[in-house]
Amino acid sequence: MSTAQRRARPRPVSAGFRALVTSPAGGFGVAVVVLLVLSAGLSFLWTPFDPQLTDPFAKWLPPSPQHLLGTDEVGRDIFSLLLVGARVTVAVAAGSAVVSTVIGVALAALGSLTRRWVRETVAVLIDILIAFPTLLIAMMIASVFGGSLWVVIWAVGISFGVNIARVTRPEIRRVSHSEYVLAGKAAGLGPVRNLTRHLLPNIAPVFIVQLSWSMAVAVLAEAGLSYLGYGAPSSVPSWGRMLSELQTYLAVHPLSVLWPGLAITITVLALNLLGDALRDATDPTLGRGAASTPTSPQGVTA
């Protein structure tokens, strides 16, 4: 086996996971994502107070053992609202990741493994769709179907699915000419089997980074659309809606706006750092194996 083939071997799962959690960026990203998922799950079973319960005699209470983060303008417990709002964040991030994965892989495969006229048509379609910003796509969908979480999920899924296709299409084209892919074809593997067995695992580092970015943008898009009134319904607490409702009181009670803003910022930062750490942990050309190689396939100096 050649040196290049040994370097191209995927890292064992245990080694990749250990490299992920021991890196500062990966450890921070994993910790925040786990905390976010646990908070969303916990909110189905328990919250300190009913997030929809208003109490005019408990308005603007400061943080205390009873109300950990204080209360808002109608006496609702901010900590309870943040816990329930985590459900929306997790649902939007996970849902948009699924949609963008399906769209991105389908377009990338069609744009790299099919006949020339299909590839050129897909390339033109990607160029057209990529010109539309995520929020604009969401507002266009919302104008037809009304504002909801599904609007955010589909808008981010379509927008970043196209981005994923644009980035991964040349990678699939490059890997499709590799010897092991050609050997798979000679052995009778069909296009779908070759795609799932050889092509996708070898473009995983690039794909993972794009997917983590799509999840981060989904969190920001949900916050922005809820702020504009296109996101979650008013009956569903979300971090973006909390920002929208509390911005009026920013000069008087700035601490109340800090909590949802901080939650959004930390979540987006964690998803971006986690994507970079996952790329480093899963890419066999990075790290010790690439020590003698001046440049990685993505053009990053080792």
What is the structure's pLDDT at 5? 44
- Kindly tell me if the per-residue pLDDT of 301 is higher than 50: no
Beta pairing partners, 71: 77
Alpha carbon separation from 79 to 120, 184, 223 (Å, rounded): 51, 54, 17
Q: How far apart are CA 78 and CA 82, in angstroms?
A: 6
pTM equals: 0.81
What is the structure's pLDDT at 36? 96
What tens digit of pLDDT does each residue of 224-277 get?
888 777 777 777 888 988 888 888 888 888 888 899 999 999 999 999 999 888
Residues near 54 by beta carbon (within 8 Å), at least 6 away in sequence: 74, 75, 76
- Kindly tell me if the per-residue pLDDT of 291 is higher than 50: no
Within 10 A of 122 (CB to CB), how many other CB atoms are there?
Answer: 20
What tens digit of pLDDT does each residue of 58-89 get?
999 999 999 999 999 999 999 999 999 999 99
Q: Which residues of 203-235 are buried (b: 16+ CB within 10 A; e: fewer)?
A: bbbbbbbbbbbbbbbbbbbbbbbbbeebbbeee
- Kindly tell me if the per-residue pLDDT of 138 is higher than 80: no
Q: How far apart are CA 71 and CA 81, in angstroms?
A: 10
DSSP annotation of 76: -
- Kindly tell me if the per-residue pLDDT of 113 is higher than 80: no
Amino acid (1-letter code) at residue 179: E
- Kindly tell me if the per-residue pLDDT of 214 is higher than 60: yes
- What is the mean pLDDT of the segment spanning 112-133? 85
What is the structure's pLDDT at 200? 81
CA angle 138, 143, 149 (to 5 degrees): 50
What is the structure's pLDDT at 43? 94
Match 């969401």 to its residue by tokens.
Answer: 138
What is the structure's pLDDT at 300? 35
Q: How far apart are CA 113 and CA 106, in angstroms?
A: 10
Within 10 A of 23 (CB to CB), how many other CB atoms are there?
Answer: 18
- In this structure, what token pair is assigned to residue 296? 């990685």
Match 């794009």 to its residue by tokens.
Answer: 210
What is the structure's pLDDT at 13? 57
- In this structure, what token pair is assigned to residue 1? 């086996």
Residues near 124 by beta carbon (within 8 Å), at least 6 away in sequence: none
- What is the mean pLDDT of the segment spanning 118-123? 87
What is the structure's pLDDT at 80? 95
What tens digit of pLDDT does each residue of 198-210 get?
788 878 777 888 8
- What is the mean pLDDT of the segment spanning 114-122? 86
What tens digit of pLDDT does each residue of 4-59 get?
444 445 555 566 678 788 888 889 999 999 999 999 999 999 999 999 889 889 99
Q: Taking a C-beta distance cutoff of 8 angstroms, is the pair 197, 268 a contact?
A: no
Q: How far apart are CA 151 and CA 220, in angstroms?
A: 14
